[in-house]
Structures are given as C-alpha cells and as structure tokens.
Amino acid sequence: AKGPQSAMYNGQLWVRAVKLYADGAMGSRGAALLEPYSDDPNNSGLLKSTQAHIREVAERGLKAGFQVNTHAIGDRGNRVVLDAYEQALETVPSVDHRFRVEHAQILHYDDIPRFAQLGVIPSMQASHQTSDMYWIGKRLGPTRLYGAYAWQSLLQTGVVIPNGSDFPVEQVNPLISFHAAIARQDDRDWPAGGWFPEQKMSRDDALRSMTIWPAYAGFQEKDMGSLTAGKFADFVILDTDIMRVPVELVMKTKVLSTYVGGKLVFDAVR
C-alpha cells in the first residue's frame, strides 16, 4: 500500500521489487527447456509458475510501481517470462519498469534481442558459468551451448548485465565473478583461452557489471554504484590493479580495506 520505498535507514533498506520463480535449476535438471535434456531425453524440466501468474503479478507490479524480478534458467523458462512481461507491458505500458530476469542462463537465439526490445534486464552471475562448464554440455548438447551464459551476445543488443554472486549458491567473493566475466576460466585458469571465449566481457564492462549496472538494476544509481560526489562512499581498496594485471593474477588479489557509506568496516592490517 505504501508503494516502493528507497534508501531507508541511511541507504540500508530498499523495498521496491517482487521475486518470482519460473523454473528450477540446471544441476537438478529442473530448469525448463524447450527441448528435452540431452542426458535425460524424457525430461524437459519444470515450470514453477504459470505464464498467466507471472503476467498477473507483473501487471500488478507495473500499476503499483514495483519492479518484478523472475528466476529463469532454462530457455523455456526464459521465454515464458519474456512472454509474460511482454503481455503485461502491452496492458500496462511503462517507460522505466526495469523488470529483470534473474540468471537468464540458457537462452534460445531468438530470445536474446527481446531483452533490449522489452527493456528487461538480464541479471546474471558470471560464477555460474565457471561452476557449470564442466558438465553443462552433457545437459544441453553442443548446439544449445551457444546460448548459454551469453554475456557478449546480450551486451551487443544494448542491455546492461548486473553481475552478482548468487551467494549462498556460489561463493560470496566478488573477485570470482570479475575473473569469470573476463576469463571464463576457473581459478586454475582452465580451460586455456576460456570457455566459449567470444562471450567474455571486457574489463570495463565487467567492472560496470559489479558497480553501476547493479545500481541501475535496483533503481539505486543516484545513490551508489560509482565514486561520485553525493553518493554513498561504498568502495574497497585492493592490493592489485585488477584492470591491468594479467588475468591469472586477479584471483590472487587481496582486499586491504572496505568502506561502506564512507565508514571503514574492514582493515586487513588490524
């Protein structure tokens, strides 16, 4: 009834998004696929929400000014969400809704441009790719891998990709996500050259994906996401310039200190 609330308690609490679930996960073969799993031909995953339900909640969100963020991993799950969002936006047009798809891991080629067309944000976690790359080919077969963790394909359409950890599913260390984004390799620098290296992010985009793009994706870009006068001074000091060092040194980087709202909250020396 109060509508969205932003930057309460000195920027510590934001209430403006609704979370939904379209499907399950790849590891359990619960992610909803358009075609059966390559290693389980009688299974195409499962839908946790109907398209009609996602559409109904999206319409309510648009009317009340709330963002709707829906977990979708498989290509069918993603298509169902995009279809539901599209229908909701036709009913309740909105210029700046910033609806999101959480994870957007496996996309059909035809659906990649739809994010930009609809103004939907693919909220992706780079570390999922480096965790899943050892076995995802068995799940999907070779063809569908071209739409898996397709960061560069999405970026080329003009969208932003906020990149988080998905903790506690993945480890919380942000350097893992940065390294995965620019290398598409694990912490042992495997595979050589990166897994589907054409989908790597540039270092500039990888940094944006962990700073200003997540801020934008949460309607927070006026308050955080960059070192700008008037914003909360949230930053870390590292012992290595991760924008310049060889990629294999990124994971060796140490955090020297952490500031939140301009206050020192961690100091490695102490």
- Alpha carbons 112 and 126: distance in angstroms, whole number: 17
Beta bridge partners of 23: 47
According to the model, what pLDDT value does residue 1 have?
A: 86
Q: Hey, where are the domains in the chain?
A: 5-225, 233-270
Distances (CA, A) of 250 to 1, 76, 164, 244: 46, 35, 17, 9
Order of strands, sheet of 263-267, starting from the edge strand that comes earlier in the sequence: 235-238, 255-260, 263-267
Q: Which residue has the tokens 């960059």?
A: 226
Q: Is the dihedral of CA 65, 205, 130, 115 positive or negative?
A: positive
Confidence of residue 250 (pLDDT cuts 50, 70, 90): very high
Angle between the 51-64 and 75-91 helix axes, to the nearest 10 degrees? 40
pTM given for the model: 0.96
Identity at 204, one-letter amino acid code = D
- Alpha carbons 223 and 208: distance in angstroms, whole number: 15
Q: Is the dihedral of CA 237, 238, 240, 246 positive or negative?
A: negative
Structure tokens at 94: 């909105």
Whether residue 270 is predicted with pLDDT greater than 90 in this model: the reply is no
Are 184 and 129 within 8 A, CB to CB? yes
| CATH H-level, domain 5-225: superfamily | Metal-dependent hydrolases (3.20.20.140)
Confidence of residue 269 (pLDDT cuts 50, 70, 90): confident
56-105 pLDDT, tens digit per residue, is 999 999 999 999 999 999 999 999 999 999 999 999 999 999 999 999 99
Confidence of residue 168 (pLDDT cuts 50, 70, 90): very high
Q: Which helix (H) or strand (E) holds 83?
A: helix 75-91
Arithmetic mean of pLDDT, 161-180:
95
Q: Which helix (H) or strand (E) holds 143?
A: helix 136-144
Neighbours of 28 (CB within 10 A): 9
